[in-house]
């Protein structure tokens, strides 16, 4: 209550420093606006970098084994899968490229005439064993059996492929909830019948809703010779790098005419996928630190100036019976009031800046709790910055009142 | 008078070292952040081929079907096979090069040598002279080689190092996608940024490792893609294995045009070509051509990464906050001198003189802030270079930014000083002198 009684004289005193107070409020408001949005961008990036693709990432690695056209290679695709599965530690293998590595979006249609695409989806097309290798969770319907899979060597263009789709895509295409058994069409390939629904499979992690729109097609790979991306899943996540190396060597040995190119774990793929965004985030953190330092310097500079200017008044208050604590609280309260003003104005600025960034850089809408965090940070920063000058003020001896400045 | 004001400013700042230091630091931090981002922005949007960019042009034609839902108005960036060949044979530009890229399995021409994938650019003879590519050994292949589908290759210095240990490999052979190629030349490290002639793989990053004659390259096995092939119609995979598919664009095309008359003639020829194709029924759309100069082309393609543009805005936001901060501190500082100013006014100094004196003081703060801001900008650029981003290597401090930093600092400090100086110069002399 004592503190509340102080507010009226503080406001009265501030009125005679309108300019400086306004500038300080403005500075805090601008800092809050920029800080709120930056924290949001950085936090969003970090959050995104932890979103799962829906596959058993810690156990999954990818090998690229490229065929040389015109060069004989005796090994068949099915044999290559067998070679990979025989490597100790490998739980499963399939001819397919995992998410984040070669993700490409294609238009999807629900009418055979293919006039109006209804979604852009990630298509994962691979060999038998794809679903198990990725470790996908079928939550509705079922995975097509080996007998049902179209045989890659003899497939005709009118054969209907049994496919799995993600839950998000099923809900988007068929909001009534009856996706199973329905036919869908991609740009030019075979018609596809939905036989099962998996919980999640994100081709990329951009933050969009349709990240999780995916179609999974398996073809039965037999005697043809294929090169390209093979995905393996290992039993023990800790063994992944060693097993992946062993698998690459085994594949190279079985395919002397192929070029053994990349071998990378999903952890590495994820690291490289988010490298740019995280680097940009680090630069934004540096900018945030600069902002905080500058604002703290400004607050503490002006507070020092005011303390200096009011030495005589402080001395008088002390002489009239105010304790050191009273003086300390006075300056702390004053700072709290100014920062609060800045926070109020800053909320407006933050939303304005967010609108601008949304418009220009497709940023998402700023959630309110970032502003609360920003306000708390600025209040703390203000109190910290004013502590030094306020302590100096509290140390002004009462005798100053009797001197002329 | 100016020297006197400088002296006064110096004394005044010395009297309040903390306040002065804070102002200088605020300006320096703002300048450091904004100059860092400005340098990155400038280097990224720089001219990839100074001296040559004025004569290089990028022709575009529009072979798309009339009815293409959701299509952009702009004609495609790249050409279809047929247009590429036709425009290549158009022959009215002093120089022209048709090109594309993919990657190919390469090994030394020795039994059991290991295969590896190398990135390549398939192009025609003029490429090297037109873009000014420097040669270490040998030279480019000839137009005759292009016509004869000769199996020759030009290596990059790095690839020559990898395969031949860096020696003069001209005349040696290697096996590219099962065919034997003879080395015609080795080019020095050459990788213009932005990678203007083909922006499909990103505008910044590594250059290609070898160069092959375009038409020879087309004879190679068709299993390694055709650069950025884009097809219209509903089939996203159409033509991936058929470069001659009529609905797919994938070839880049550049011409050198030395005079405005040549540019006008070429534009007319493009229009005429389009009209002719339209008449033949191959083009469904009315002639719609582009012939942009290199720098206009980069502008039109918005090559600057979005994050860099956003960070530049944010850096200027930081500068603005630093300025508001400095304004506040200056108001405090100048008002503190009210007594002194009152005396000067009472002794006959005009408001204008007091205003100038305050501005000079602000300018001194600006210069000091700029000088301190330079090492901060240098530090900032060093930090950018440590980041694993594709454009990191181009974040270098440029001497021209030195002047820009100082000018920006002084301008900001003056801008920040105007209002405080105005307030200081309106001090009523009588009131101040009385209270002394």
Q: What is the pLDDT of residues A347-360, one digit of tens each?
A: 999 999 999 888 88
Tell me the nearest-neighbour CA distance from B206 into chain A, angstroms: 16
Token digits of residue A114: 């293919």
Angle between helices B17-44 and B399-425 (to 10 degrees): 140
Q: What is the pLDDT of residues A66-90, one digit of tens each?
A: 777 666 666 788 888 999 999 999 9
Token digits of residue B394: 């181009």
User: Quick check: A240 and A56 in contact, CB under 8 A?
Assistant: no
Residue A185 lies in a domain: yes
Residue A350 lies in a domain: yes
Tell me the nearest-neighbour CA distance from A148 into chain B, angstroms: 25
Which residues are A197's β-sheet partners?
A: A140, A165
Q: What is the pLDDT of residues A103-162, one digit of tens each?
A: 778 889 888 877 788 899 999 989 999 999 999 999 999 999 988 998 887 888 788 999
A178: part of which helix (H) or strand (E)? none
Token digits of residue B205: 């990053």
Q: Judge whether A24 is closer than 8 Å to chain B, CB to CB.
A: yes
Tell the burial category of A65 from Cβ atoms under 10 Å away from its Cβ (0-12, 13-18, 19+).
buried
Q: Considering only CB atoms, which chain B residues are within 8 Å of A42?
A: none
Residue A11 lies in a domain: yes
3-state DSSP call for residue A308? helix
Please name the residue of chain A whose CA is at the shortest distance from the CA of residue B322: A294
CA-nearest of A389, A393, A383, A380 to A332 is A383
Q: Does the distance separating the beta carbons of B234 and A114 come in below 8 Å?
A: yes
Q: What is the pLDDT of residues B62-78, one digit of tens each?
A: 998 887 766 778 999 99
CA-nearest of B131, B121, B129, B125 to B155 is B121
Q: Considering only CB atoms, which chain B residues are within 8 Å of A20?
A: 328, 331-332
- A83 and A39 fall within a common domain: no
In eight-state DSSP terms, residue B312 is: H
Range of the domain at A12: 2-50+273-402
- A234 and A349 fall within a common domain: no
- A130 and A190 fall within a common domain: yes
Return the residue matching tokens 């420093």.
A17
Residue A365 lies in a domain: yes
Q: CB-CB: which of B26, B237, B387 is closest to A294?
A: B26
- A370 and A246 fall within a common domain: no
3-state DSSP call for residue A150? coil
Q: Does the distance separating the beta carbons of B235 and A357 come in below 8 Å?
A: no
Tell me the nearest-neighbour CA distance from B122 into chain A, angstroms: 18
Q: Which whole-number Å values give the CA distances from A47 to A50, A51, A369, in the listed order?
A: 5, 7, 15
Top residue of A23, A215, A278, A292 to mutate, by most chain B CBs within 10 Å, is A23
Token digits of residue A259: 């070029």
Tell me the nearest-neighbour CA distance from B331 into chain A, angstroms: 7
Contacts of B292 (CB under 8 A, 6+ apart): B57, B58, B60, B300
Q: Considering only CB atoms, which chain A residues are within 8 Å of B311?
A: 280, 283-284, 287
Q: In this predicted structure, what is the pLDDT of residue B336?
A: 78
Q: Judge whether A140 is closer than 8 Å to chain B, CB to CB.
A: no
- A188 and A283 fall within a common domain: no
Cα B92 from chain centroid (whole Å): 30
Evaluated on CA atoms A133, A136, A137, A140, the torsion sign reads negative
User: Quick check: A49 and A278 in contact, CB under 8 A?
Assistant: yes
Cα A201 from chain centroid (whole Å): 16
Please name the residue of chain B whose CA is at the shortest distance from the CA of residue A262: B117
- Last residue of a domain, which of A222, A257, A292? A257
CB atoms within 10 A of CB A112: 10
Q: How many domains does chain A have?
A: 2
- A185 and A334 fall within a common domain: no
- Give all strands (DSSP E) within A130-249, no chain letters: 138-141, 161-166, 183-186, 192-198, 214-219, 228-234
Tell me the nearest-neighbour CA distance from A286 into chain B, angstroms: 9
Continuous H helices in B301-398: 306-336, 338-346, 351-386
Tell me the nearest-neighbour CA distance from B379 into chain A, angstroms: 12
Q: In this predicted structure, what is the pLDDT of residue A236?
A: 92
**Separation of alpha carbons B323 and B414, rounded Å:** 10
**Separation of alpha carbons B180 and B152, rounded Å:** 9
Phi, psi torsion values for B330, nearest 5 degrees = -70, -40
3-state DSSP call for residue B379? helix
Residue A61 lies in a domain: no
Q: Judge whether A238 is closer than 8 Å to chain B, CB to CB.
A: no
Q: Tell me the pTM.
A: 0.79
- A251 and A300 fall within a common domain: no
Q: Does the distance separating the beta carbons of A69 and B221 come in below 8 Å?
A: yes
Tell me the nearest-neighbour CA distance from A235 into chain B, angstroms: 30
H helix count then E strand count, chain A: 10, 11
- Last residue of a domain, which of A201, A231, A257? A257
- A43 and A73 fall within a common domain: no
Q: Considering only CB atoms, which chain B residues are within 8 Å of A27?
A: 321, 324-325, 328
Residues within 8 A of B (CB atoms), A 174-203 only? 186-189
Q: What is the pLDDT of residues A344-392, one digit of tens each?
A: 999 999 999 999 888 887 778 888 888 888 899 899 999 999 999 999 9
Q: Does the distance separating the beta carbons of A107 and B236 come in below 8 Å?
A: yes
Residues within 8 A of B (CB atoms), A 352-391 only? 353, 357, 360-361
Q: Judge whether A107 is closer than 8 Å to chain B, CB to CB.
A: yes
User: Using alpha carbons only, how large is chain A's radius of gyration in Å?
Assistant: 32
Inter-chain CB pairs, A–B, below 8 Å: 152
Q: Judge whether A30 is closer than 8 Å to chain B, CB to CB.
A: yes
Low-confidence ranges of chain B (pLDDT < 50): none
User: Quick check: B75 and B62 in contact, CB under 8 A?
Assistant: yes
In eight-state DSSP terms, residue A364 is: P
B10: part of which helix (H) or strand (E)? helix B2-15
Please name the residue of chain A whose CA is at the shortest distance from the CA of residue B220: A69
Q: In this predicted structure, what is the pLDDT of residue B129?
A: 95
CA-nearest of B143, B93, B94, B105 to B123 is B143
Q: Judge whether A20 is closer than 8 Å to chain B, CB to CB.
A: yes
Top residue of A104, A255, A274, A294 to mutate, by most chain B CBs within 10 Å, is A294
Q: Considering only CB atoms, which chain B residues are within 8 Å of A34?
A: 314, 317-318, 321
Tell me the nearest-neighbour CA distance from B396 into chain A, angstroms: 16
3-state DSSP call for residue B283? coil
Q: Considering only CB atoms, which chain B residues are within 8 Å of A294?
A: 25-26, 29-30, 318, 321-322, 325
Please name the residue of chain A whose CA is at the shortest distance from the CA of residue B334: A305
Q: CB-CB: which of B237, B314, B324 is closest to A287?
A: B314
User: Quick check: B355 and B422 in contact, CB under 8 A?
Assistant: yes
In eight-state DSSP terms, residue B286 is: P
Q: In this predicted structure, what is the pLDDT of residue A73?
A: 67
Q: Considering only CB atoms, which chain A residues are within 8 Å of B222?
A: 69
Q: In this predicted structure, what is the pLDDT of residue B160?
A: 95
For the cut 80, the answer to whether the pLDDT of residue A399 exceeds it is yes
Q: In this predicted structure, what is the pLDDT of residue B93?
A: 92
For the cut 60, the answer to whether the pLDDT of residue A1 exceeds it is no
Q: CB-CB: which of A66, A189, A290 is closest to B105?
A: A66
CA-nearest of B31, B53, B48 to B293 is B53
Residue A62 lies in a domain: no
Contacts of A341 (CB under 8 A, 6+ apart): A21, A25, A28
- A162 and A279 fall within a common domain: no
Q: In this predicted structure, what is the pLDDT of residue A390?
A: 92
- A227 and A304 fall within a common domain: no
Reported as a pLDDT band with limits 50, 70 and 90, residue A405 is: very low
Residue A336 lies in a domain: yes
Token digits of residue A10: 């503080």
Tally of residues, chain A: 405
Q: Considering only CB atoms, which chain B residues are within 8 Å of A31?
A: 321
- How far the first Cα of chain B sits from its last, in Å, is 26
Residue A59 lies in a domain: no
- Last residue of a domain, which of A257, A281, A301? A257
Tally of residues, chain B: 436
Tell the burial category of B211 from Cβ atoms under 10 Å away from its Cβ (0-12, 13-18, 19+).
buried
In eight-state DSSP terms, residue A144 is: P
**Separation of alpha carbons A191 and A148, rounded Å:** 15
Q: CB-CB: which of B307, B320, B383 is closest to A280?
A: B307
Q: Does the distance separating the beta carbons of B306 and A298 come in below 8 Å?
A: no
- A81 and A223 fall within a common domain: yes
- A330 and A253 fall within a common domain: no
CA-nearest of B3, B241, B235 to B102 is B241
Task: Answer yes or no: is the ipTM higher than 0.90.
Answer: no
């Amino acid at each position: 209550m004592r503190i509340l009684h102080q507010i009226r004289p503080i406001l009265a005193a501030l009125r005679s420093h309108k300019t400086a107070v306004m500038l300080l409020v403005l500075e805090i408001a601008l800092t809050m606006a920029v800080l709120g949005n930056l924290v949001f961008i950085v936090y969003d990036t970090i959050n995104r970098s932890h979103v799962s693709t829906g596959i058993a990432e810690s156990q999954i690695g990818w090998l690229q084994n490229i065929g040389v056209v015109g060069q004989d290679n005796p090994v068949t695709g099915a044999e290559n899968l067998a070679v990979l599965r025989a490597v100790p530690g490998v739980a499963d293998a399939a001819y397919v490229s995992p998410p984040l590595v070669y993700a490409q979006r294609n238009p999807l249609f629900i009418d055979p005439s293919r006039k109006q695409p209804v979604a852009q989806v990630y298509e994962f097309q691979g060999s038998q064993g794809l679903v198990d290798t990725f470790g996908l969770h079928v939550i509705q319907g079922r995975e097509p059996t080996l007998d049902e899979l179209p045989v890659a060597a003899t497939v005709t263009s009118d054969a209907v492929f049994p496919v799995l789709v993600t839950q998000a895509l099923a809900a988007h295409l068929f909001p009534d909830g009856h996706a199973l058994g329905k036919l869908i069409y991609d740009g030019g390939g075979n018609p596809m019948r939905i036989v099962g629904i998996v919980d999640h499979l994100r081709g990329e992690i951009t933050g969009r809703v349709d990240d999780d729109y995916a179609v999974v097609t398996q073809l039965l790979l037999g005697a043809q010779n294929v090169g390209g991306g093979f995905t393996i899943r290992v039993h023990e996540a800790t063994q992944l790098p060693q097993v992946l190396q062993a698998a690459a060597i085994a594949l190279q040995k079985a395919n002397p005419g192929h070029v053994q190119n990349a071998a990378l774990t999903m952890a590495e793929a994820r690291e490289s996928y988010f490298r740019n965004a995280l680097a940009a985030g680090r630069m934004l953190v540096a900018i945030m630190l600069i902002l905080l330092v500058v604002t703290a310097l400004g607050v503490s500079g002006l507070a020092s100036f005011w303390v200096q200017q009011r030495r005589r008044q402080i001395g008088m208050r002390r002489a009239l019976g105010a304790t050191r604590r009273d003086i300390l609280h006075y300056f702390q309260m004053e700072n709290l009031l100014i920062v609060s003003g800045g926070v109020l104005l800053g909320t407006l600025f933050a939303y304005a800046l967010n609108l601008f960034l949304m418009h220009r850089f497709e940023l998402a809408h700023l959630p309110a709790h970032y502003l609360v965090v920003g306000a708390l940070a600025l209040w703390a920063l203000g109190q910290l910055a004013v502590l030094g000058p306020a302590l100096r003020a509290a140390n002004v001896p009462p005798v100053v009142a009797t001197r002329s400045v | 008078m100016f020297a006197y004001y400088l002296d006064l400013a110096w004394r005044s700042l010395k009297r309040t070292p903390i306040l002065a230091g804070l102002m200088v630091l605020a300006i320096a931090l703002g300048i450091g952040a904004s100059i860092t981002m400005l340098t990155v922005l400038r280097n990224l949007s720089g001219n990839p081929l100074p001296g040559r960019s004025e004569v290089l042009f990028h022709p575009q034609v529009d072979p798309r079907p009339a009815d293409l839902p959701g299509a952009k108005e702009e004609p495609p960036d790249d050409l279809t096979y047929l247009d590429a060949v036709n425009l290549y044979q158009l022959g009215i530009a002093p120089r022209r090069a048709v090109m594309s890229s993919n990657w190919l399995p390469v090994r030394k021409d020795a039994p059991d040598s290991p295969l590896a994938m190398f990135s390549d650019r398939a192009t025609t003879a003029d490429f090297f002279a037109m873009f000014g590519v420097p040669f270490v050994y040998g030279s480019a292949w000839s137009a005759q080689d292009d016509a004869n589908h000769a199996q020759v290759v030009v290596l990059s210095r790095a690839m020559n190092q990898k395969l031949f240990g860096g020696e003069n490999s001209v005349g040696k052979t290697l096996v590219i996608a099962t065919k034997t190629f003879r080395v015609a030349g080795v080019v020095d490290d050459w990788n213009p940024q932005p990678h203007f002639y083909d922006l499909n793989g990103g505008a910044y990053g590594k250059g290609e490792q070898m160069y092959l004659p375009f038409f020879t390259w087309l004879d190679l096995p068709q299993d390694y893609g055709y650069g950025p092939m884009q097809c219209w119609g509903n089939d996203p995979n159409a033509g991936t294995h058929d470069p001659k598919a009529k609905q797919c664009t994938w070839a880049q095309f550049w011409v050198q045009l030395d005079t405005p008359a040549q540019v006008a003639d070429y534009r007319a020829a493009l229009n005429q070509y389009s009209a002719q194709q339209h008449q033949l029924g191959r083009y469904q759309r009315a002639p719609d051509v582009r012939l942009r100069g290199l720098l206009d082309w980069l502008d039109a393609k918005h090559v600057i990464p979005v994050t860099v543009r956003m960070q530049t805005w944010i850096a200027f936001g930081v500068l603005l906050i630093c300025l508001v901060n400095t304004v506040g501190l200056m108001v405090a500082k100048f008002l503190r001198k009210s007594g002194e100013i009152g005396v000067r006014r009472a002794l006959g100094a005009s408001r204008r003189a007091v205003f100038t004196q305050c501005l000079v003081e602000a300018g001194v703060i600006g210069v000091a802030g700029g000088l301190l801001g330079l090492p901060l900008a240098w530090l900032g650029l060093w930090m950018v270079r440590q980041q694993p981003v594709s454009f990191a290597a181009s974040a270098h401090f440029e001497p021209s930014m030195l002047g820009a930093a100082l000018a920006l600092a002084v301008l900001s400090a003056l801008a920040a000083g105007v209002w405080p100086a105005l307030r200081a110069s309106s001090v009523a002399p009588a009131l101040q002198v009385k209270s002394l």
